[in-house]
Amino acid sequence: MPRRNIQQLSDRPLSADGIRQAIARLASRVGRGDGLFLYYPGHGTQTAGAPGKCSEGLLAYDMEIYGASELVAIDEY
């Protein structure tokens, strides 16, 4: 994989907003049918959704209480 296609965010802890911004930048660079590998060495969670469904997301360091409104939902992108 060419280095220009790698975005590494490891110089500081990422806030929820920082995660959203990084994923938005990534989403603007990929298209339908592109391969994507995302490595996140942090915590994730699930929240209840519609019956039989759940939302999954990433937890940032600045989240103290998490629920649907604080979750960086994977399906936002």
In a domain, 5, yes or no: no
Q: Give the pLDDT score at 68.
A: 56
CA distance 46 to 57: 6
- Backbone phi, psi, residue 72, to 5°: -85, 90
Contact 24, 9 (CB under 8 A): no
In a domain, 11, yes or no: no
| Domain coverage including residue 63 | 35-77
CA distance 36 to 69: 26
H helix count then E strand count, the chain: 1, 3
Q: How many domains does the chain divide into?
A: 1
State pTM to two decimals. 0.61
For 14-65, how does the pLDDT look when each residue is reduced to its tens digit (9 = 90+)?
787 888 888 888 888 888 898 888 888 888 777 777 777 777 777 777 765 5
In a domain, 23, yes or no: no
pLDDT at 66 over 80: no
CA distance 5 to 1: 7
In a domain, 6, yes or no: no
pLDDT at 77 over 70: no
In a domain, 17, yes or no: no
In a domain, 71, yes or no: yes
In a domain, 45, yes or no: yes
